[in-house]
Structure 1
Amino acid sequence: MKSAVTISLVPEAKGGPFVYWGDLAGSSRAAAELGFDAVEVFPPGPDAAELGELKSILADNKLSLAAVGTGAGWVKHKLTLTHPDPATRSKARAFVRATVDAAGAFGAPAIIGSMQGRWGDDVSRETALGWLGEAVAELGEHARQYGTFLIYEPLNRYETNLVNTVADGVAFLTGAGAMNAKLLADLFHMNIEEVNVPDAIRAGAGAIGHVHFVDSTRRPAGSGHTDFAPITAALKDIGYSGYLSAEALPYPDSKAAARATIEAYRRLVR
């Protein structure tokens, strides 16, 4: 398993669960100095100017790109893959597809989280899941050309009413025929939705492609009541070799949050 830390470049998401904010070069340098293997970037869009600088920044700091988030599609543009308006759904799919292309240039996956949306009003759960499944299957296949996959994230019940658990995520991907998509196991969401997090991870063997390494409080590891030892043991049991990426609030500040994360990673994994 490898370590990663999040960098948000989206001003509209200020206050969200990202360790570093802005200054892609400076944040990447700070991550490298602490010993992280990679960064996970949340750009304002797939054509963001910062992404043009990313290749040299990663090379200068000997970092990899763990993943690229699509959350700005919702935060900035209110696009979701389950919106009742077909034109909006089409724009959402195009936004994610372009992000897949941007991430794919680095051999990295894109993440669908908040852009999945929710069902309600004039859209039934079955219809919303159908639209979402079609999009995830198509976009996953689009990622295949880059030698990577698409990441789909089950969220807690307060953020979506579509898919909330790892087991439901496995069933969703299987039902959609999304052969080149994997699940993001976010320990914050799992703390809310799973009866037993290690058991849920073991049940998701083969389907988990990314992990958000964060405590129950959405602060960095060690700032809540999560027992990480059995969780990392479960990840080892299923042969997980991807990233443990800190999508966490910068508590008490970015420097301290990043340091707490890398120290927890070294203690539990290495």
Structure 2
Amino acid sequence: MKSCITVSLVEEARGGPFVLWDGLERSIAFAAELGFDAVEIFSPGVESLDADALAKHLDAAGVRLAALGTGAGWVKRGLQLADADAAKRDQAKRFVRELIDLAGSFSAMTIIGSMQGRSDQNVDPKTAREYLAEALEDGGAHASKYNVPLLYEPLNRYETNQCNTVAQGVELLESLSTGNVKLLCDLFHMNIEEVDIADALRFAGKRVGHIHFVDSNRWPVGCGHMVMGPILAALRELDYSGYLCAEAFPLPNPAEAARQTMRAFRYWTGGSNVL
């Protein structure tokens, strides 16, 4: 398993569950200093990321790009994939495809989380799910050009009414004709929704494509009451070799949150006996 940490470039989301905030070059260099293998970037969109500059920063630090988040499509632009307005759904899908193209040029994945949207007074649950499935078909096929999967993230009940559990996410993926969508399993959301997190991961099996490595209170691992041993055991049973990525509140501050994440990663993956 490989280590990863989140970097946010979206000022409107400041205070949210992203660890590093102080600029792309500085954040990548700090991640490398602590020994992280990769970064996951939450950006306003492709126009805010210069691919050449990003490649330069990553190469200088010896760090990979693991994934790009699409949540700014919702946070900044009000775009979501289950919108009742077909034109807005098309705009949302274009936004996702643009990020897939940028991420794919780095052999990195793209995440559908908050942009999945929800059913409401304008869209009934069945139709909302159909719109989401249509968007995942589109994004999964587009991402296949780069030989990387599209990631779909079930969220807790307070953030979406689409898929809240891993089992619901698996059901959605199995309804698709594309096999190029995998699950992002976020331990914070799972702590709210799953009866047993380890069993849920085992149920997902090879559909697990990415892990958000975070504690029960969305602080860095080791700062809450999450029982991590069975979770890591389940991932080892699955031969999971992807990223454990910290999508955690930057508490008590970004630097210490990053250091605590790395201590926890090394402890739980066998690189240290100190948590």
TM-score after normalising by structure 2: 0.97
Instruction: Indicate if the aligned counterparts of 1:80 and 1:89 stay in contact, CA closer than 8 A.
Output: yes
Distance in structure 2 (CA, Å) of the matches to 1:71 and 1:204: 24
Match of 1:145 in 2: 145
Distance in structure 2 (CA, Å) of the matches to 1:206 and 1:66: 18
5+ long unaligned stretches in structure 1:
none
Match of 1:105 in 2: 105
Distance in structure 2 (CA, Å) of the matches to 1:184 and 1:171: 14
1:21 partner SS? coil
- Residues 238-249 of structure 1 correspond to what in structure 2 (within 5 A)? 238-249=238-249
5+ long unaligned stretches in structure 2:
271-275
Match of 1:26 in 2: 26
Distance in structure 1 (CA, Å) of the matches to 2:90 and 2:4: 32
Deviation at 1:179, TM superposition (A): 1.1
Match of 1:96 in 2: 96
Match of 2:273 in 1: none
1:73 partner SS? helix
Match of 1:254 in 2: 254
- Residues 189-268 of structure 1 correspond to what in structure 2 (within 5 A)? 189-268=189-268
Cα RMSD, aligned residues only:
0.9
* Residue 61 of structure 2 is aligned to residue 61 of structure 1: yes
Deviation at 1:176, TM superposition (A): 2.4
Distance in structure 1 (CA, Å) of the matches to 2:232 and 2:47: 36
Deviation at 1:35, TM superposition (A): 0.4
* Residue 124 of structure 2 is aligned to residue 124 of structure 1: yes
Which sits farther off after the overlay, 85-94 or 40-49? 40-49
Which one-letter code corresponds to 2:143 in the other structure?
A
Which one-letter code corresponds to 2:80 in the other structure?
T
Instruction: Indicate if the aligned counterparts of 2:43 and 2:49 stay in contact, CA closer than 8 A.
Output: no
How many residues are matched? 270
Distance in structure 2 (CA, Å) of the matches to 1:68 and 1:108: 7
Distance in structure 2 (CA, Å) of the matches to 1:246 and 1:50: 24
Deviation at 1:50, TM superposition (A): 4.5
Instruction: Indicate if the aligned counterparts of 1:154 and 1:185 stay in contact, CA closer than 8 A.
Output: yes
2:223 partner SS? coil
Instruction: Indicate if the aligned counterparts of 1:133 and 1:178 stay in contact, CA closer than 8 A.
Output: no
The 4+ residue runs of structure 1 with deviation greater than 4 A are none
1:66-99 CA distances to partner (integer Å, 9 max, x unpaired)?
1000011000000000011111101000000000
